[in-house]
Structure 1
């Protein structure tokens, strides 16, 4: 069944826009033609059974529908409908409430930097949701808390979405579960199929660290399986310790419950956090690769004249991905662009490419400066000499 915009499913849900397609699931924004509310938008999740789709995928999809139907929380999308469509291939559909807003992943993609105050508020909102889930009988584990599954709604409150990895049985039952989770956010015990309430707390901690540093937990250095982030953030010591407690490698070293984590956060008490014997030095704050038009600040150590861009304007833009530099090849503004590249080259290169660190950036630009001095300058002088000869011959 080929899905198209404006197509109506179940004589009720009119597809409007494809939100996501990971090869297994399709997620659409749709209009509920039978809705009485002014805002009739809904989210339609579709799974086509067969081919690459395995029984485990179908079980997770059905579990999401069953659990979502039972949940009643103002910060969790409401279940609306679940159906099966047999049109040559077997399709399963889950309909849920649409939450207008922007995911925290989308915020991060625009190089939005979150302050400690903002991150604390997000933590409180998510912890309140986790308290509700973990205190249900049987308890519900989300197992995939991460920026893309947290929506900052138009009411400035955080919503937890996508229950596709949900687990609704206590780990102590000894049942083996499908291994799910996202690398960097999911703790080690979850990949061993032994998720517990503290596993969701770890994912929340990793998410909050991502919001503060602007870097995915998978990109951050680790020591003894601990995320090294303290040198990257400017937060109070109490909040830093609280984040370290959330992301302890061993689940027994984390907070026992979401309620205890919330209580400790609000009280701001000092914690006894197990620290490795050696603190690994980590790179400075890295907000590179945000795009040349981004308003994100550029580290002062990066700013300055770029000799590599000035002396080799015909090659430098390619490896630094500063495509505006290709204006150098326009005859009427070539000379002007050379000067502009020298003045703005460092800032543009920092924003255009993702660098591992400031030191990585400096080494790269230093190499270009050396190449420009010994290769670029002689070539440029030769080009200008030829140009002058041609012009002179033209007028003579």
Structure 2
């Protein structure tokens, strides 16, 4: 219900503030840009509302709330005009010179660079942590692109506290249901009282909106296919948890979300504010072949069962579209039994996924796996190359034979435009001389020879030693156990 504007260009408010232009129009307010006649050259934002509208966030309450807040990502209140005889009231606040996230989003054609997107989310978590940490906590309740301002140097500020409220511990639900459809938590529509977790739901909706170029704000069928290819896959389980319908199943605080994001690989800011490790979350190891027949599947299986023996929950995914390796393995382990109709089967604790695609990966990332091993095969179609480049640990499998070493160099040259600082190179059965030559030519020490390992499902001490060295920054040493194939041979 929109009320008529009382001010226009040239209007004078309180004998001090001259209206210059309209900044925005909402359902229950107008916002103007005004010049301060007592401080020449100083500009303010003035919010005009009518107090008679039947919603909880009256202008008096908003003014009292905002004047008590002190945070660099919140506007400062400098003046307040009580309602006149027609109910019009005015709030004078800091003028923020910038553009809304909604406007910035459109300017970027729906694809805000990931580094900036990450900065925005971390800054929003910072201000939400402040608001929720007050006593009583302040719940913003309307986190959406048009209420987020982007100013110089990618700084974020929240605006429009018209429906913010203080948390009431003795209330079962909110008196008034307010929020923006698509970004508001379910409890804002009558299922309970809003609290800090309601703002976190809205943050998840905002993240998904930006990650899908504006296509989705809810986690529903088909959303996986709309997620931008440059979004770090480790964002997926965070967003899915933020968007749980039950508040008890979401993250419980902004600080909890921040810590979860910061311990996931691939998150950095241009300000150098974050230092990341590879601990926590689901880690993805992707293997691709410099050429065909170099042992990508064999090595992927060996890595999977090595990690499972360290008591990690592991899935290995077959991404090569023409490979039948996993189907043959399934036929062996289920010989004499009807084959399951699904694409997933288990070998000695490792979950195998046959003929999988990107949607499967996103789904698995939202589960409980600690490691996902991707068998990309050889060849470089765009989808598999993207998965390789985005992995926490990309591994190139090549041949150590002298006449085939050029294949590794050709693979590197064809991908020279991509950062290779975390790539690992594994050469099955390569001599120490071959390893040294390739280390020198590629200018990296991350080249390893893999010993003979006839049964990749079982423990091989020399192979385990190399894997322990490669993965030392990702895992610890835990008790081992025998594999399915070893037990089968022993008749156990």
Q: Which residue of 2 aligns with 1:392?
A: none
**Which of 10, 15, 22 matches 1:6?**
10
3-state SS of 1:244 partner: helix
Report the counterpart of residue 257 of structure 1 in structure 2: 253
Matches within 5 A, 1:22-171: 22-35=26-39, 40-49=42-51, 53-56=52-55, 59-84=57-82, 86=84, 89-110=86-107, 111-171=109-169
- Check 1:65–1:124 CA distance in 2 against 1; reply closer, same or farther (3 A cut): same
TM-superposition CA deviations, 1:111-142 (whole Å, max 9, x none): 14123322211111000000000000010000
Shift of 1:169: 2.2
Point out the structure with the larger helix share: 1
What's the offset of the Cα at 1:229?
4.1
Rg comparison, structure with higher value? 2
What SS does the aligned partner of 1:56 have?
Answer: coil
1:230 Cα deviation after fit: 5.6
Structure 1 counterpart of 2:244, from 222, 240, 248: 248
State the shift of 1:24 in Å.
Answer: 2.7
Q: Is the contact between residue 63 and residue 166 of structure 1 (CA under 8 Å) also seen in structure 2?
A: no
Q: Which has the higher strand share?
A: 2
Deviation string 1:162-201 (CA, Å, 9 cap, x unpaired) is 1111011235444643211111101111212511111101
Residue segments in structure 2 that go unaligned for 5+ positions in a row: 265-279, 284-341, 343-355, 360-492
Tell me the CA shift for residue 2 of structure 1.
3.9
Flag structure 1 segments of 5+ consecutive residues without an equivalent.
283-396
The structure-2 alpha-carbon separation of the partners of 1:48 and 1:262, relative to structure 1 and needing over 3 Å to count, comes to same
The two structures have a TM-score, normalised by structure 1, of: 0.62
State how far apart, in whole Å, the 2-side matches of 1:151 and 1:9 are. 25
* Partner residue in 1 for 2:348: none
Q: 1:19 to 1:85 in 2, by over 3 A?
A: same
**Cα shift at 1:85:** 5.3
Residue deviations 1:47-87, cap 9 Å, x none?
Answer: 135xxx42426x4332211110100001100011111253x
Instruction: Give the RMSD, CA atoms, in angstroms.
Output: 3.0
Shift of 1:43: 0.8
- With over 3 angstroms needed to count, the CA separation of the structure-2 counterparts of 1:230 and 1:34, relative to structure 1, is farther
1:23 is displaced (CA, Å) by 5.0
- Could you say which residue in structure 1 is the equivalent of 2:209? 210
Q: Name the structure 2 match of 1:17.
A: 21
The Cα shift of 1:232 comes to 2.1
Q: Who is 1:233 aligned against?
A: 228
Query: What SS class does the counterpart of residue 240 from structure 1 fall into?
Result: helix
Secondary structure in 1 matching 2:142: coil
Q: Distance in 1 between matches of 2:226 and 2:8?
A: 49
Distance in 2 of aligned mates of 1:243 and 1:157: 22
CA-to-partner distance for each residue in 1:272-306, whole Å, 9 max, x for gaps?
9xxxx9x9x99xxxxxxxxxxxxxxxxxxxxxxxx
Which runs of structure 2 are paired with 1:279-358 in the superposition (5 Å)? none
How many angstroms apart in 2 are the aligned matches of 1:174 and 1:100? 40
Matches within 5 A, 1:347-386: none
Asked if the contact 1:18–1:29 (Cα under 8 Å) also holds between the matched residues in 2, the reply is yes
Contact 2:99 2:149 in 1 (8 A): yes
Check the 8 A contact 1:209/1:229 in 2, yes or no: no
> What corresponds to 2:193 in structure 1?
194
Contact kept in structure 2, 1:145 and 1:204, CA below 8 Å: yes
Q: Determine whether 1:270 maps to 2:281.
A: yes
